[in-house]
Chain A
Amino acid sequence: AQSVSQHNHHVILSEAASLELGCNYSYGGTVNLFWYVQYPGQHLQLLLKYFSGDPLVKGIKGFEAEFIKSKFSFNLRKPSVQWSDTAEYFCAAYTGGYQKVTFGTGTKLQVIP
């Protein structure tokens, strides 16, 4: 079965600190990977996605993620976080075999001014 795991459930950082959120998936075939963000009181928004090509994907608001096939990972990074990045972040995977998107448990990021 397809699964997605996020290792950090709650991360607290000071402004300007660097961020890396871990995401691992389990599926041996072709997979599409996503990071979604949910700001307080708002709905899920797509941050970035990887389908194919360059494994380093750049998204909105200075976020990027790197697909490492050998590690089944798709970690999210940002060199310098801002208070406005406080939100919950979800990693997700889609495979044609399962025809559905599977989400990780989410990571709550709190950025302290």
Chain B
Amino acid sequence: GAVVSQHPSRVICKSGTSVKIECRSLDFQATTMFWYRQFPKQSLMLMATSNEGSKATYEQGVEKDKFLINHASLTLSTLTVTSAHPEDSSFYICSARDPRTGGAETQYFGPGTRLLVL
């Protein structure tokens, strides 16, 4: 099956610094990737849809200048949390659509990245 990886799995940073999270599709080319955020005891909230070669589409209420998304290749999307603050601490999960097996409804998830901002 399709495999999606994320790096790092866990990161701790100081307030004001920027953090980059990578999402890779390992055995398929993903023209579309999705970034989610999960707060404790809450659901996954879609932050943005990342399309290879074009600008990401952000959900309402998500600051595009705060959460920079780059999808420079068919196997890699990056999420950069700029000038991170403690309220950005969360679990960030990416997913990718495998165009071989379905549309936007079929997504394969990465293992997530736990971000803690001190």
Contact = CB atoms under 8 A, between A and B. Distances in A.
Interface in B56-71: none
Given A43-B4, A44-B93, A90-B43, 20 more contacts: A4-B43, A32-B105, A42-B111, A43-B110, A43-B111, A44-B95, A49-B105, A90-B44, A94-B105, A100-B34, A100-B49, A100-B104, A101-B34, A101-B46, A101-B104, A101-B105, A101-B107, A103-B43, A103-B45, A105-B41
B92 interface: no
Contacts of A69: none
Interface residues of B, number: 19
A69 B4 CA distance: 33
B60 to A, nearest CB: 10
A103 B41 contact: no
A9 B112 contact: no
Contacts of B42: 105
Interface of B: 4, 34, 41-46, 49, 93, 95, 104-107, 109-112
B50 to A, nearest CB: 13
B43 A44 contact: no
B43 A105 contact: yes
A106 B95 CA distance: 18
A34 B103 CA distance: 14
B41 A99 contact: no
Contacts of A103: 43-45
20 contacts: A4-B43, A32-B105, A34-B105, A36-B109, A42-B111, A43-B110, A43-B111, A44-B93, A49-B105, A90-B44, A94-B104, A100-B34, A100-B46, A101-B46, A102-B46, A103-B44, A105-B41, A105-B42, A105-B43, A106-B43
A43 B9 CA distance: 11
A51 B45 CA distance: 22
Q: Which of B44, B106, B112 has the most CB of A within 10 A?
A: B44
A104 interface: yes
A104 B43 contact: yes
